């Protein structure tokens, strides 16, 4: 976050931008009116999005997954946070292409990338993508109509690998699931799925669920006066960071069979945890009794349990391996 408080005009600009993101009719980046808009966005909304990217990249790194692609293509780059987070994680990339319907946004993102990574080779992004590219998409889907989504799918088909992060809302997660269904025949699903079958969320009875996860808000943010002002004045809850994501690859790297992913946050009730889980067999509501797995129960309670688990079911009870 920056050094000074936001002025009244700056808060108005942030509020206008937010309305633009939420209002699906304001598509096409028309809300970027000036470089100041992008600078304000970059140290606020984009920084929060950056924390979501941190969570996704940390999971991939923990799984020792890294892209083979050497060219980054950030579609709908805005101020360019996705490209910078990924370049900061895998610095062996040869080039970065920044694409946005707003030329103002592309110029801003390019300048930021150059400032942070002077060695980066910036390419102008066209409709075609450099062979061997890692496509990044971040918080764009709700701004795209059907035709623009179809163009993005066509672009995605040119990619070697894809990392796609969206908001953790029901609508955005469901839209991302639709993209997964379009693409999964051509790619390995690396994450978040533990399988390559049709998404279990699409099975009858699961309409109310959505695939979402929670990132970590840095503790500095909760103590920072400017984040407090941002949160208070815009009515944004800073303590929670839901996101949905999808990682696809043409080079394998999916989870070994048998893994289960915990969706969202388990809900604690008296002596038990209600867990929404996803595995090859589908999406299921499970109940974990504290008395059956006290150590694992505690790690869930403290939010420390990994979201990918290798438990088994015995007589309807969740059993975690001893080292979990
Ligand atoms: C909410 S912002 C997200 C920006 C950035 N990806 C991030 O995560 O911070 C959505 C971005 O998508 C861009 N956008 C909207 N429609 C687009 C389209 N049809 N083609 C390319 N970019 C588009 C907007 O200009 C805007 O920069």
101 burial level (CB within 10 Å; 0-12, 13-18, 19+): middle
Judge if the beta carbon of residue 117 lies within 6 A of ligand 1: no
Examine the fold and report which residue of 230, 249, 268 is the final residue of a domain before the chain moves on.
249
Atom of ligand 1 nearest to the CA of 78: 27
Distance 38 CA to ligand 1 centre (A): 12
Number of domain units in the chain: 2
308 in the same domain as 192: no
187 in the same domain as 270: no
143 in the same domain as 112: yes
Pairing type for strands 242-249 and 161-167 reads antiparallel
Atom of ligand 1 nearest to the CA of 148: 19
315 in the same domain as 239: no
Q: Give the predicted TM-score (pTM) of the model.
A: 0.95
Judge if the beta carbon of residue 166 lies within 6 A of ligand 1: no
| Phi, psi angles (nearest 5°) of residue 318 | -75, 130
Q: Whose Cα sits closest to atom 27 in ligand 1?
A: 78
Judge if the beta carbon of residue 140 lies within 6 A of ligand 1: yes
294 burial level (CB within 10 Å; 0-12, 13-18, 19+): exposed
Model confidence over 18-40: pLDDT tens digits? 988 887 666 677 889 999 999 99
Residue 110: domain span: 8-249
| Phi, psi angles (nearest 5°) of residue 52 | -65, -45
Atom of ligand 1 nearest to the CA of 45: 9
pLDDT score for 185 = 95
125 in the same domain as 77: yes
pLDDT score for 273 = 95
Task: Give the tokens for residue 119.
Answer: 């060695």
Distance 141 CA to ligand 1 centre (A): 8
Pairing type for strands 133-138 and 71-75 reads parallel
Examine the fold and report which residue of 249, 273, 304 is the final residue of a domain before the chain moves on.
249
Examine the fold and report which residue of 249, 280, 296 is the final residue of a domain before the chain moves on.
249
Judge if the beta carbon of residue 38 lies within 6 A of ligand 1: no
pLDDT score for 324 = 47
Distance 108 CA to ligand 1 centre (A): 13
pLDDT score for 323 = 62
pLDDT score for 84 = 97
pLDDT < 70: residue spans in the chain: 1-2, 24-27, 126-127, 323-324
pLDDT score for 41 = 97
Q: Whose Cα sits closest to atom 4 in ligand 1?
A: 78
């Amino acid at each position: 976050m920056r050094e000074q408080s936001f002025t009244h005009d700056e808060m108005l600009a942030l509020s206008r931008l937010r309305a633009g993101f939420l209002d699906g009719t304001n598509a096409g980046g028309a809300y970027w009116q000036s470089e100041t808009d992008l600078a304000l966005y970059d140290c606020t909304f984009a920084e929060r999005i950056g924390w979501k990217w941190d969570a996704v990249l940390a999971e991939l790194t923990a799984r020792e997954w890294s892209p083979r692609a050497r060219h980054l293509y950030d579609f709908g780059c805005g101020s360019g946070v996705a490209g910078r987070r990924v370049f900061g994680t895998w610095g062996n990339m040869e080039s970065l292409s920044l694409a946005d319907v707003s030329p103002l946004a592309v110029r801003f993102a390019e300048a930021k990338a150059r400032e942070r990574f002077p060695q980066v080779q910036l390419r102008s992004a066209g409709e075609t993508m450099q062979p061997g590219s890692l496509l990044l998409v971040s918080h764009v889907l709700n701004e795209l109509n059907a035709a623009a989504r179809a163009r993005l799918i066509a672009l995605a088909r040119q990619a070697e690998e894809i990392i796609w992060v969206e908001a953790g809302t029901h609508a955005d997660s469901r839209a991302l699931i639709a993209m997964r269904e379009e693409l999964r025949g051509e790619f390995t699903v690396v994450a978040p799925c533990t399988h390559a079958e049709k998404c279990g969320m699409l099975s009858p009875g699961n309409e109310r669920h959505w695939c979402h996860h929670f990132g970590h808000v840095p503790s500095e943010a909760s103590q920072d006066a400017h984040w407090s002002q941002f949160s208070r004045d815009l009515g944004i809850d800073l303590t929670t960071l839901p996101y949905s994501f999808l990682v696809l690859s043409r080079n394998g790297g999916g989870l070994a069979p048998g893994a289960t992913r915990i969706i969202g946050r388990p809900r604690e009730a008296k002596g038990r945890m209600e867990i929404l889980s996803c595995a090859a067999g589908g999406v299921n509501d499970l109940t974990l009794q504290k008395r059956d797995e006290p150590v694992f129960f505690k790690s869930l309670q403290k939010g420390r349990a990994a979201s990918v688990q290798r438990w088994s079911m015995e007589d309807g009870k969740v059993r975690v391996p001893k080292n979990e």
